[in-house]
Amino acid sequence: MPEIRVTPLGAGQDVGRSCILLSIGNKNVMLDCGMHMGYNDERRFPDFSYVTAEGPVTNFVDCVIISHFHLDHCGALPYFTEMVGYSGPIYMTHPTKAIAPILLEDMRKVAVEKKGESNFFTSQMIKDCMKKVIAVTLHQSVMVDSNLEIKAYYAGHVLGAAMFSIRVGSQSVVYTGDYNMTPDRHLGAAWIDKCRPDLLITESTYATTIRDSKRCRERDFLKKVHECIDRGGKVLIPVFALGRAQELCILLETYWERMNLKIPIYFAAGLTEKANNYYKMFITWTNQKIRKTFVQRNMFDFKHIKPFDKSYIDNPGAMVVFATPGMLHAGLSLQIFKKLAPNENNMIIMPGFCVSGTVGHKVLNGAKKIEFENRQVIEVKMSVQYMSFSAHADAKGIMQLIQYCEPKNVLLVHGEAPKMEFLKEKIRQEFNLDCFMPANGETFVLETRFNIPIDVSLPLLKAEAKRYNATPPDPKKPRIIHGVLVVKDNSTCLMDVDEACREAGITRHVIRFTSTVRLDDPGPSSQTLDKLQRLFVERMEGTWSIQQTDGSLSIESVLVKVEGGEHEQKTVYVSWTNQDERLGSLVLEFIQNIGQNETGSL
């Protein structure tokens, strides 16, 4: 039986370093190649020994698919290509291809130049890695080779994020990456067609969460920011360069305009301009409202939000600062946090998920003192607020996606084990589907049915449509197409009889089937023939030519012959051609009539 095999090398019962090895129809596909923000040792990258053990990695992995530009999904890609040695094709959308190298370079600077880490990729490695990337368009079917087909679907989440369908022969898998089922201020909702894959591999970051109304959450966010600046405090909002940053900037910009506020809002220098350029470049990936108003007013040209300089942090008075990265694991957001944390007037608003091991995760879990590697200890007296503006699907959204694409099985990744367990049971109860959640390094095997795709010829389809439209359809009965199955050049096609004969180069023959009925009670041959004739005249619709010659009755393509003398046991032979289905069923009916009701039992 054919199999689909899935081995998480990262994000199995965990959030961070997403990397799923998929084996489907003798093809090996790597889904994402991310890094873990909570580790600085070898655990930050996926365990590539699973693919290197098979010999040269390019011979083993047929392609790599990157769902979006977040580093927990693409951060290990240059390491995998330039240091592990993969040189095959890499697929991602156009926005992801444009933005990923900028974030990779930003992360490399923090890791190497500021932390002095070794065994890390260089700027040149990032450039060489990106040369291997093939950009794909949404809903475009891409043939990786003659058997392996991939297709991207809109995922919301961040600019350029995509879900991918992977198909080999009759086997198919959908991998979601990260996605959001509700539209926000700058992106639309994820969408996929009813593709009914054998397996849906979905993220489950918010497996047990059902988020409140977005409008309530936004109102709460603005109220808390306003309260803090009213008392002269500083608000730190750690964000990633693209995504939630733009969402919250649009929200604050609109509020500042409405309330006529003069308190400065800052965004980490250099990133705002770059981010806005990408939104302008890929405006078709944003939501309908932004696309409509873009000609009159670009939502990303902010009047109230200015570039940030490190010296501003010591300025007296209130301010709001957006700084990267979003999990406080390094960079400017962490430096500003260290400055602001000891003052109880200040506030930090964490707008998204933080992985275990990061400073953001510790802060959200209520740590009052945080010790750093250089033995520096920071007291956390500032107000800590968590408001999920995260662009992940919540539990309701995950169930909605399952309803949309109707998979045969579900596999959960990118989530915490206890929450995944809860969602797994919910999926089983609601959809009656098998649901799985393998850990990192654990291989899940799914046996699939062997389906043979069959084409149907155009003449046959036209003939069947004509026949089908002639009678009212019965929704309870399956629609049957009558034809001849022709196998040629590794393809299978259903054709009508004449077409199949021409294809095979043979003359059409009429086949006759013969049924025999013995009558235990011998009666006059003429009586039997009369009864048969009468039966056909009564039962058959339309006009039929009836002939009676030499003790046999022929009604169009049906031949009835009775053998045996007047006082002997009779044998009735019935023959008909295969051209009219009604004749076949009628013959069986009259055989039964003769045997049971007319001249004896069968």
Q: Of 408, 424, 447, which residue constitutes the final position of a domain?
A: 447
Whether the pLDDT of residue 57 is over 50: the answer is yes
Tell me if 46 sits within 8 A of 190, measured CB to CB. Answer: no
Residue 495 belongs to some domain of the structure? yes
CATH number assigned to the domain comprising residue 255: 3.40.50.10890
pLDDT category of residue 571 using cuts at 50, 70 and 90 = low
Whether residue 352 sits in one domain with residue 410: no
User: How far is Cα 576 from Cα 555, in angstroms, rounded to an integer?
Assistant: 9
Residue 539 belongs to some domain of the structure? yes
pLDDT of residue 475: 66
Q: What is the DSSP string of 440-492?
A: TTPPEEEE-------EE-HHHHHHHHHHHHHS---TTSPP----EEEEETTEE
Whether residue 283 sits in one domain with residue 182: no
Domain range for 518 is 512-597
Q: Of 348, 365, 386, which residue constitutes the final position of a domain?
A: 386
Reply yes or no: is the peptide bond before residue 89 cis, omega within 30 of 0. no
Whether residue 186 sits in one domain with residue 113: yes
Q: What is the DSSP string of 291-317?
A: HHHTTT--TTS-SSEEEE-GGGGG-SS
Whether the pLDDT of residue 561 is over 70: the answer is no
pLDDT of residue 461: 85
Whether residue 19 sits in one domain with residue 47: yes
Residue 62 belongs to some domain of the structure? yes
Look up residue 189 and give its amino acid: A
CATH number assigned to the domain comprising residue 164: 3.60.15.10
Domain count across the chain = 4
Residues forming the active site: 203
pLDDT of residue 272: 58
Q: Is 404 helix (H, G, I), strand (E, B) or coil?
A: helix
- Ranges 24-33, 98-107, 200-209, 275-284: which has the least confidence: 275-284
CATH number assigned to the domain comprising residue 543: 3.30.310
Q: Of 403, 420, 447, which residue constitutes the final position of a domain?
A: 447
CA atoms within 13 A on the CB side of 140: 12
Residue 262 belongs to some domain of the structure? yes
- Whole-model pTM: value is 0.72
Range among 65-69, 271-275, 361-365 rated most confident: 65-69
Residue 112 belongs to some domain of the structure? yes
User: How far is Cα 28 from Cα 147, in angstroms, rounded to an integer?
Assistant: 12
Whether residue 378 sits in one domain with residue 232: yes
Between 138 and 247, the higher pLDDT residue = 138
Whose tokens are 């700027």? That residue is: 123
CA-closest candidate to residue 575, choices 555, 595, 594: 555
User: How far is Cα 415 from Cα 204, in angstroms, rounded to an integer?
Assistant: 5
Whether residue 429 sits in one domain with residue 410: yes
Whether residue 237 sits in one domain with residue 169: no
Residue 602 belongs to some domain of the structure? no
Residue 494 belongs to some domain of the structure? yes
pLDDT of residue 541: 39
Whether residue 36 sits in one domain with residue 157: yes
pLDDT category of residue 559 using cuts at 50, 70 and 90 = low
The model's pLDDT over 399-457, given as tens digits with 9 standing for 90+, comes to 999 999 999 999 999 999 999 999 999 999 999 999 999 999 999 999 998 777 788 88
Q: Which residues pair with 4 in a beta bridge?
A: 24, 446
Structure tokens at 85: 């040695």
The model's pLDDT over 291-338, given as tens digits with 9 standing for 90+, comes to 877 766 666 778 898 888 889 999 999 999 999 888 898 888 999 999
Whether residue 103 sits in one domain with residue 43: yes
Whether residue 116 sits in one domain with residue 178: yes
pLDDT of residue 569: 60
Whether residue 199 sits in one domain with residue 218: no
421 burial via Cβ count (<10 Å: 0-12, 13-18, 19+): middle
Whether residue 398 sits in one domain with residue 367: no
Q: What is the DSSP string of 233-278?
A: -EEEEE--TTTHHHHHHHHHHHHHHHHT--S-EEEETTHHHHHHHH
